[in-house]
Amino acid sequence: MAGFTMELSEDQRGVRDWIHGFAADVMRPAAAEWDEREEFPWPVVQEAARIGLYSLDFYAQQFFDPTGLGIPMAMEELFWGDAGLGLAITGTGLAAIGVLTNGTEEQIGTWLPQMYGDADDVKIAAFCSSEPDAGSDVSAMRTRAVYDEAKDEWVLDGTKTWATNGGIANVHVVVAVVDPGLGARGHASFIVPPGTKGLSQGQKFKKHGIRASHTAEVVLDGVRLPGHCLLGGKDKLDERLARARERVRTGGARTPNAAMATFEASRPTVGAQAVGIARAAYEVALDYAQTRVQFGRPVIDNQGVAFQLADMRTRIDAARLLVWRASWMATAGKPFTSAEGSMSKLFAGETAKAVTAQAMQILGGNGYTREYPVERMHRDAAIYTIFEGTSEIQRLVIARTISDVPIR
């Protein structure tokens, strides 16, 4: 296992520059159009697939980078290009992580290729966890999965919400309750194959930001799934539920559920996305401050503006270091003893929101118009203190971890 380093290898720099070129040449010119259209940008994703950027092979190579920096490096460059388009290109990844985290080798080999397709037939996937009454409070989840032993089938009923790619995906990964008496510990994840009867798209959301990313409800009405669509298999589920019931009986420690395991694994990746947005806004603001002349001198000559830019750059670099540390720890198999994954997502998300707001302020009235990209970046950044665990939830996770107290 590689030791932690802040120096990218020659190969890593080559990949970074390749992604940066795609972000600059393909994503940025298309960003405003797809933000206005609020539609899934199939042509952009297809172009990413054509060059091998949207592919299972590419993400596998980055995922297994021994330094742990492959994925965060790629995310930062893509989201430097544009957050809405970046999420359209990477949104399948959360479902893929769900399968990698909870699935068997056979399930991984079967379903991951179907989530991406190929350059000639692009596919996408969706991870469905949140519900209208169960966002941060996963214990309130109501979508049920009932086992039909006679047919070796699972029957799913319920409604999921805020699902990236929900309803238009080829493959859906759905978290459902299998034992209501266990609360959040009674959940399991299921693969819903393409064309399964009973799954439909509900409301498509019109969002403040990341508009090029499709977000919708997913309705499950009597969805019947073969037994092999339970991620991890029934034997593993039965063993886990038995342990959970014993802990409930004896008052033992909680164990993470399927949804939380997926989110915890993805938090540094989400943090890297936020770093990319913040960096993009900072660069626009820096360039503007250096070229905009007011009162006979460049704006950056004013200490108030210069200090803002100094703070922005400092926060961005600090956020990146937290993301890289957590990513390296996860790859090295080191436990997050101080909730380092949550730390990275919390700080990076708050940084993106703050830095994009400062960038708008530096641009003044221009920053508030759609003639400049920082207003879009600010709208996009707002979600990073909300989705995949709000900032408040991240702080709760960190506080519980460092104190070993069940803080509420």
Cα(301)–Cα(324) distance, rounded to whole angstroms?
33
Cα–Cα distance between 373 and 371 in angstroms, integer? 7
Q: Measure CA of the first residue to CA of the last residue in the chain; give whole Å.
A: 37
Place of tokens 């592919």: 55
Which H or E run includes 224? strand 215-226
Query: Nearest 5°: CA angle at 162, between 91 and 118?
Result: 25
CA 68, 273, 128, 139: dihedral to nearest 10 degrees? 80
Three-state DSSP state, 174:
strand
Torsion-angle region of 308 (φ positive above 0: left; ψ -120 to 50: alpha; else: beta): alpha
In the numeric block, the tokens 């009932």 are attached to: 146
Whether the Cβ atoms of residue 369 and residue 288 lie closer than 8 Å to each other: no
Q: Beta strand pairing status for 117-118 and 144-148?
A: unpaired
d(CA 111, CA 294) in angstroms, rounded, equals 58
| Tokens coding 84 | 């809405």
**Catalytic center residues:** 388
Beta-carbon contacts of residue 172 (< 8 Å; ≥ 6 apart): 95, 125, 126, 127, 128, 163, 166, 191, 192, 199, 218
CB contact at 8 A, 175 and 196: no
Please tell me the distance from the alpha carbon of residue 336 to that of residue 173, in angstroms, as a whole number: 26
For residues 191 and 267, is the Cβ–Cβ distance under 8 A? no
Diameter of the chain measured on Cα atoms? 82
Spell out the residues 6+ positions from residue 26 whose beta carbon is closer than 8 angstroms to its own. 44, 47, 48, 81
The radius of gyration of the chain's CA atoms, rounded to the nearest angstrom, is 22
The token duo for 264 is: 């915890």
Q: What are phi and psi of 235, to 5 degrees?
A: -60, -45
